[in-house]
Amino acid sequence: MNTKEHSVAELSKVVGLVFQNPDSQLFNMTVLEEVAFALENLGVEREEMWRRIKWALKLVGLWEKREEFPPNLSGGEKQRLAIASVLVMKPKVLVLDEPTSQLDPVGKESVLGLVKLLNKEEKITVLLVEHNTEFLLENADRIVVFDKGRVVMEGKPEEVFEEVERLEEVGVRIPARVKLGYELKRRGLADRAVLSSEEIVKILRIAGNVRT
């Protein structure tokens, strides 16, 4: 689908957007009302509306909190609620703008776990604006690196993170194991920078740098 050939109204039927700050997106009195709002605007039949609401809230783990006041939720729960409020519209593509930037470690883990579930189990295409490079290395199918509004790199995770020096030039944080793999490559002990933890340990053992 070429986005240049379609209006925002047309794209909104296919693409769902979740803001970086969930408080900018939540405004109803209960969790249930928050998720129902978009469906009511679309005129979805009551039975279908209820089915979608239940599905979305159970999927994000908030069904038991459906009567709660959204501001009383934790940061991670608010972000999951914002995601649920978009999921009920059944988007084919979900865009998440730095969904973990304002969360504590527990909240980050819950949201990133949900992102994996949506992509792997629900088969939803997820476009994730994210600085958690460890998560991207392990879970992304493709990575696009921007610098000052321009695309500077694009490819599979193992291809992108192979270019350690170039990534550092544009301020991308390099995952620890990629840094170690890069150093092993620089010293002639490995043929690439992106290695699994098992490969790194094996190389270090062979080199005599790790005692078993």
Mean pLDDT over 143-172 rounds to 95
Give percent of the chain above pLDDT 70.
98
Residue 196: CB atoms within 10 A of its CB come to 10
Residue pLDDT, tens place only, 41-70: 889 999 999 999 999 999 999 999 999 999
Enumerate the CATH 3.40.50.300 domain ranges in the chain, comma separated: 3-130
- Specify the pLDDT at position 13: 81
Q: Is the pLDDT of residue 210 over 60?
A: no
Q: Is the pLDDT of residue 204 over 90?
A: no
209: confidence class by pLDDT, cuts 50, 70, 90:
low
Q: What is the DSSP string of 33-44?
A: HHHHHHHHHHT-
Q: Is the pLDDT of residue 37 over 90?
A: yes
Q: Which CATH superfamily is domain 3-130 in?
A: P-loop containing nucleotide triphosphate hydrolases (3.40.50.300)
35: confidence class by pLDDT, cuts 50, 70, 90:
very high
Place of tokens 């979608």: 52
- Rounded to the nearest 10 degrees, the angle between the axes of helix 46-59 and helix 31-42 is 140
- Looking at every residue in the chain, the average pLDDT score rounds to 91
The torsion of the CA quartet 85, 90, 93, 96, rounded to 10 degrees, works out to 10
Give percent of the chain above pLDDT 90.
73
- Specify the pLDDT at position 7: 85
Mean pLDDT over 20-26 rounds to 92
